[in-house]
Amino acid sequence: MNMTDEDLAQSAAAGDRQAFCNLLERCYDRIFGLAFRLTGNRTEAEDLTQDICANLPKKMQTYQAKARFSTWIYRVIVNAAHDRRRRAARQGKAALDWGDWELARQAENHEAAALTDWLITAMQSLPPEIRDTLALILDDVTHQEAGQILGVSQGTISWRVSQAKSQLRALKAQEQTL
Amino acid sequence: MSDDLNDLKQALQATTPTPEAARKAEHLMLAEKNFERLQETTKPHRHTFRQSDDGHFKGVKKMMSMLSNRMALGTATALACAGLIAVFPEISAQFGDQKHTNPANDPHATVQSSPEYIYQDRHNNSIRHAGVRIERGRGRQRSYYASLTPCREHEKSLVAGNSGYSSSGAQIKPQR
């Protein structure tokens, strides 16, 4: 029988180890993907995913089937990313973020390199809160869910998305003039 | 989604890497290990009482049943003893320190007659009942009352205005 994420999450919260393992295996790629979109750095994304996996058993105990599991796990990821940024800022380290050399190095051909350059420039032009919002919205999360995940109103999400759009439009216009 | 965001989405999808299999296995193992450890260390929740709707005494009975027998017995005994001592101060005199209640056994005790406890009829030349106050010697601060029925010789000595008797250092001072 194919159990839903919510069923598995509830079983895991009740102490079912197998359910926990199945659930984590199922959603691992999603966790890593969002971690990468939030950080823009593979190494940071891997470290962030490791943090999340290490703390997930404890957090799992607090899971309540009030919201969808995807909403809940996105909130866990976003909070972990914020914690990591805060920790880095407190320790006086520059948090590795969008625009680091590693991503650019990954581009294998000229076309891919151009796309990566544009992406890095676009993401760098956005403030962190708008970047976090976009990372969710571009993962097909609704505005309402994004508001729940980030702890802001739906109106704030819509405003951030519109800000992102106008900045990206301005960036494109700037590129065309060059 | 607008074109602006579509471009960004495509760029993100194109650049998002797939997780390394080795790291993924490592992370899954770490999570599983932590899950097991947490399950082992998690203690069962402490039982809490539900507010009883069956009246006040049901709750009291429940509370008493939770107390261990030894504790309940000890508490009840202590309360009973305290009550008895409060009601009958003579008990503490008799049971508290018996060797000092007999002046003959305590060479340092000073026994004085207490005015309010003497029922002496001087005209009839007899004492029916006497209360004596015993003050302990050797710096002990406590004093207490004991009811004594004096013997015939004692009665005579008291009525005659004698300074009392002292068989082994103790003195009885009669009330004037």
- Partners of A46 on chain B (C-beta within 8 Å) are 19-20, 23
**pLDDT at position B160, please?**
44
Selected residue with higher pLDDT from A45 and B168: A45
Res. B116: pLDDT tops 80: no
How many whole angstroms separate alpha carbon A110 and alpha carbon A117?
10
Domains of chain A: 1-97 (1.10.1740.10), 101-178 (1.10.10)
- List Cβ neighbours of B52 (8 Å cut-off, separation of 6 or more): B58, B59, B62
- Least confidently predicted of B19-33, B47-61, B66-80: B47-61
pLDDT of residue A173: 81
Instruction: Tell me if A57 and B16 make a contact (CB, 8 A cut-off).
Output: no
Q: Which helix (H) or strand (E) holds B10?
A: helix B3-15
Cβ-Cβ contacts under 8 Å, B4 against chain A: 164-165, 168-169, 172
Q: Classify the C-alpha dihedral A105-A109-A113-A119 as positive or negative.
A: negative
Of the ranges A143-157, B40-54, B159-173, which one carries the lowest mean pLDDT score? B159-173
**Residues 4 to 33 of B: which have CB under 8 A from any A CB?**
4-5, 7-9, 11-12, 14-20, 23-24, 26-28, 30-32
DSSP string, chain A: ----HHHHHHHHHTT-HHHHHHHHHHHHHHHHHHHHHHH--HHHHHHHHHHHHHHHHHHHTT--TTS-HHHHHHHHHHHHHHHHHHHHHHTTPPPP-TT-HHHHHH--SHHHHHHHHHHHHHHHTS-HHHHHHHHHHTTT--HHHHHHHHTS-HHHHHHHHHHHHHHHHHHHHHHHH-
Residue B129: what pLDDT? 45
* Chain B residues touching A121 at Cβ < 8 A: none
Which residues of chain A does B17 touch, with a Cβ-Cβ cutoff of 8 Å?
A: 36, 42, 106
Task: Specify the pLDDT at position A43.
Answer: 87
pLDDT of B149 above 50:
no
Considering only CB atoms, which chain A residues are within 8 Å of B3?
none
- Which of residues B108 and B114 earns the better pLDDT score? B108
Instruction: Round the average pLDDT of chain B to a whole number and report it.
Output: 64
**Looking at the partner chain, which of A25, A61, A122 has a beta carbon nearest the beta carbon of B8?**
A122
pLDDT at A122: 79
Token representation of residue B159:
């009525």
In this prediction, residue A50 carries a pLDDT of 95
Q: Which residues of chain A have pLDDT under 50?
A: 101
More confident residue, B149 or A145: A145
Token pair in block for residue A150: 């980030």
Residue A19's closest chain B neighbor by CA? B32
Return the H-helix or E-strand segment holding B135. Answer: strand B126-135
B5:A169 CB<8 A: no
Handedness of CA A18, A21, A26, A31 (dihedral sign): positive
Contact B16 A36 (CB under 8 A): yes
Minimum CA–CA partner of A53 in chain B:
B31
Which pLDDT score is estimated for B141?
44
CA neighbours within 13 Å on the CB side: how many for A31? 26
Q: Decide if A112 touches B, using CB distance below 8 A.
A: yes
Range among A162-166, B124-128, B157-161 with highest mean pLDDT value:
A162-166
Q: What are the chain B neighbours of A55 within 8 Å (beta carbons)? A: 34
Distance from CA of A102 to the nearest CA of B (A): 11
Could you tell me if A104 and A116 are in contact, meaning their C-beta atoms sit under 8 angstroms apart? yes
B121 touches chain A (CB under 8 A): no
The percent of chain B in helix, strand and coil, each rounded to the nearest 5, is 50, 15, 35
* Partner-chain contact B34 A57, CB within 8 Å: yes
Residue of A106 and B66 predicted with greater confidence:
B66
Contact criterion met (CB < 8 Å) for B5 and A161: yes
CA distance A89 to chain B (A): 25
If one compares A144 and B147, the residue with the highest pLDDT of the two is: A144
Instruction: Pull the structure tokens for residue A3.
Output: 């159990």
* Burial class of B165 by CB neighbour count within 10 A (0 to 12, 13 to 18, 19+): middle
* Closest to A157 in 3D by CA, of A167, A149, A145, A147: A147
Burial class (CB in 10 A: 0-12, 13-18, 19+), A75: middle
Check pLDDT > 70 for residue B109.
no
**Nearest-by-CA chain B residue for A167:** B4
Taken as a whole, chain B contains a residue count of 176
Q: Which helix (H) or strand (E) holds B158?
A: helix B152-159
Q: Say which residue the tokens 């539900």 belong to.
A: B50
Cβ of A53 within 8 Å of Cβ of B31? The answer is yes
Sorted by sequence, the CB contacts under 8 Å of residue B36 that are 6+ apart come out as A17
Q: How many helices (H) and strands (E) does chain B have?
A: 7, 5
